[in-house]
Amino acid sequence: MPPSFNDFHCRSIEERDAFWAEQAGRIDWHVPPRQICDYSNPPFARWFVGGQTNLCHNALDRHLAEHGEQNALIAISTETNSEKVYSYRELHAEVQRMAAVMQSLGVEKGDRVQIYMPMIAEAVFAMLACVRLGAIHSVVFGGFASGSLASRIDDAEPKLIVSADAGSRGGRVVAYKPLLDEALRLCKHRPAAVLMVDRGLAPMEMQQGRDHGWAERRAAFLDAQVACTWVEATDPSYTLYTSGTTGKPKGVQRDTGGYTVALAASMPLIFGGEPGQTFFCTSDIGWVVGHSYIIYAPLIAGMATVLYEGLPVRPDAGIWWSIVEKYKVTHMFSAPTAIRVLKKHDADYLSRHDLSSLKALWLAGEPLDEPTAQWISKAINKPIIDNYWQTETGWPIMTLCNGVQPQATRFGSPGKAVYGYNVKLIDESTGEELTGAGQKGVLAIDGPLPPGCMQTVWRDDQRFVNTYWKSIPGRMIYSTFDWGVRDEDGYYFILGRTDDVINVAGHRLGTREIEECICAHARVAEVAVVGVADALKGQAALAFAVTRDALEGEQARKALEADVMKLVDARLGAVARPSRVIFVSALPKTRSGKLLRRAMQAVAEGRDPGDLSTMEDPAVLAQIQARL
């Protein structure tokens, strides 16, 4: 009889090394590890010490004998109306060509390669080629502003930058080369070479001696055979900069062995994934979800992975579901924001397609409100599984590990703590652990962090310690900077960021709680609540809402605003009532779908919103300003 999930989780904490030694058997090792976890210098954890492996080998080479002709990468763009499917053998060949080109441009083990690309197959080739060579990739979201890109170039100091002429979103071409050229003018570090993929979307000015065309270089290495470089398990595989940072960029540094093992275990234990199935993650490679669950985890598991460039509503709101039908997608991973976008459209778009292959839809990236979960659950009639994690952790902290033991979904909760994570709720003032059901505290994780989590901040160990391990008084414990509560069955509920608490006349209110309440209104599709300065109360809650249908005239807006106010009064009390509910056509978001609450707050208080380089559409802020 298989163990219960609680027993499984308990063993992962109490018999840590034995547990992870078993999970390490899921991957290939060139040299097996001699020590599972070295935690002699907390909070720095070194996993699988002495072991040698290669991330690309585990994602591609080891599958060739049995699954060489199986689908590996399904690259789809509704922006260019193109689709191409690569088998494992074909992807392996393309990655070797890219690796050979990189070698010809001087890339060696330990070098950094910056990748500034749209969601195209060549971006996947580049990431896998880097880890094949033992180089460290640093992906920056395609279309990032020049100043922000320059600061990341200076921090990573890449030998090579791989980019493309342009990306496209909603039919609008965004030229990358001018942005890259300006970044290279601004930054202090000078990469030895730039490799450009020409999609034919925008003209490119190539700098003689520095810039190289991918097509021409690839043609010289069509038959390339580049062996995997075996690296220490503790060697870095990549760095990834967390969104929303200010000042000096904060690069999350990931190891190789721990990350490979963590992802290899997550596919069967969390997702129930098996070789030959198809995984469709709608994120972007510029974010951690894209790294882990578009590129690495599905391929490590011997699955096919879908790489999608485009919007969820173009050409219509059924596009994702048509992909599920055509490629018999078994696992789908998206974000609550994307579902809220679909919520504005007719649910019939979802029911037009055969979704019988789909086992479940996983959602992450921000808290999943219950109304949105209920809507998508009804629309596709599939299990909806929330999960919670961070760029820093690289894989889920909380979800339902149905591959260990089937567990019931509780809408509004991302589930239970995942194996390996020793999650605690901590009193922010005293540092004491809160063990009772319903007690609100800071979500924290006792060290060591499990395999796959960040090793440190790139080139700044002290920043890693000070930022993540010293915020809770009296103890060294990793803070997620999120509030949470736990029910009597061990399910957690996220109440928002610890810095998203507003103080209204002495009452501390989580903006997340107010948002959840407003979103329960049948006419509200999406909402963001921010705290703004108030001379009388200190702060006041201000709500921005997107409606599911059009609001005609000021009278209709005022009537709905009053209705929303009554709802908040009834559920949370008058103290939580927003000072205003402002109806807008869209909310400002990053291109990964995260709400830019700080920018909204700044505009509402008449301040400079700061760096908007990650914003999807800066014009949205102008609309908010006009409505204030």
pLDDT tens digits along 398-455: 999 999 999 999 988 999 999 999 999 999 889 999 999 999 999 999 999 999 999 9
pLDDT score recorded for residue 118: 96
Q: Which residues contact 112 (CB under 8 A, 6 or more apart)?
A: 135, 136, 137, 138, 156, 157, 158, 159, 239
Burial class (CB in 10 A: 0-12, 13-18, 19+), 81: exposed
Cα end-to-end distance, the chain, whole Å: 61
pLDDT score recorded for residue 2: 66
Q: Walk me through the domains of the chain, giving residue ranges and CATH numbers.
A: 5-310+387-481 (3.40.50.12780), 500-627 (3.30.300.30)
pLDDT score recorded for residue 303: 98
Residue 147: pLDDT over 90: no
pLDDT digits (tens, 9 = 90+) for 326-370: 999 999 999 888 898 898 888 889 889 999 999 999 999 877 888
Confidence of residue 592 (pLDDT cuts 50, 70, 90): low
Residue 295: pLDDT over 70: yes
Give the residue ranges of DSSP H helices in 253-380: 257-266, 288-290, 297-300, 319-327, 336-343, 348-351, 370-380
Instruction: Give the C-alpha separation, 547 to 586, whole Å.
Output: 9
What is residue 248's DSSP assignment? S
Residue 584: pLDDT over 50: yes
Burial 378-414 (b: 16+ CB within 10 A, else e): ebbebbbbbbbbbbbbbbbbbbbbbbbeebebbebbb
Express as a percent the part of the chain with pLDDT over 70. 96
pLDDT digits (tens, 9 = 90+) for 442-497: 999 999 999 999 999 999 999 999 999 999 988 999 999 988 999 999 999 998 77
Specify which residues 163 forms β-bridges with: 116, 196
pLDDT score recorded for residue 246: 42
Confidence of residue 536 (pLDDT cuts 50, 70, 90): low
pLDDT digits (tens, 9 = 90+) for 91-130: 999 999 999 999 999 999 999 999 999 999 999 999 999 9
pLDDT score recorded for residue 485: 95
Residue 202: pLDDT over 50: yes
Residue 498: pLDDT over 50: yes
Tokens found for residue 582: 């402002």
Give the residue ranges of DSSP H helices in 50-176: 55-59, 64-67, 88-104, 121-133, 146-156
Q: β-pairing, 360-363 with 384-386?
A: parallel
Residue 186: pLDDT over 50: yes
Instruction: Give the C-alpha separation, 278 to 67, whole Å.
Output: 13
Instruction: Give the C-alpha separation, 189 to 511, whole Å.
Output: 41
pLDDT score recorded for residue 244: 40
Burial class (CB in 10 A: 0-12, 13-18, 19+), 508: exposed
Q: Which residues contact 330 (CB under 8 A, 6 or more apart)?
A: 273, 277, 278, 279, 357, 358, 359
20-34, 65-79, 132-146: least confidently modelled range:
132-146
Residue 614: pLDDT over 50: yes
Confidence of residue 617 (pLDDT cuts 50, 70, 90): confident
Cα–Cα distances (Å) from 79 to 74, 174, 313, 618, in that order, read: 15, 12, 12, 21
Tokens found for residue 271: 């997702």
Q: Which residues contact 139 (CB under 8 A, 6 or more apart)?
A: 114, 115, 116, 117, 123, 127, 238, 240, 285, 286, 290, 291
Q: What is the mean pLDDT of the chain?
A: 92
What 3-state DSSP class applies to 362? strand
Residue 505: pLDDT over 70: no
pLDDT score recorded for residue 506: 54
Tokens found for residue 21: 């030694």
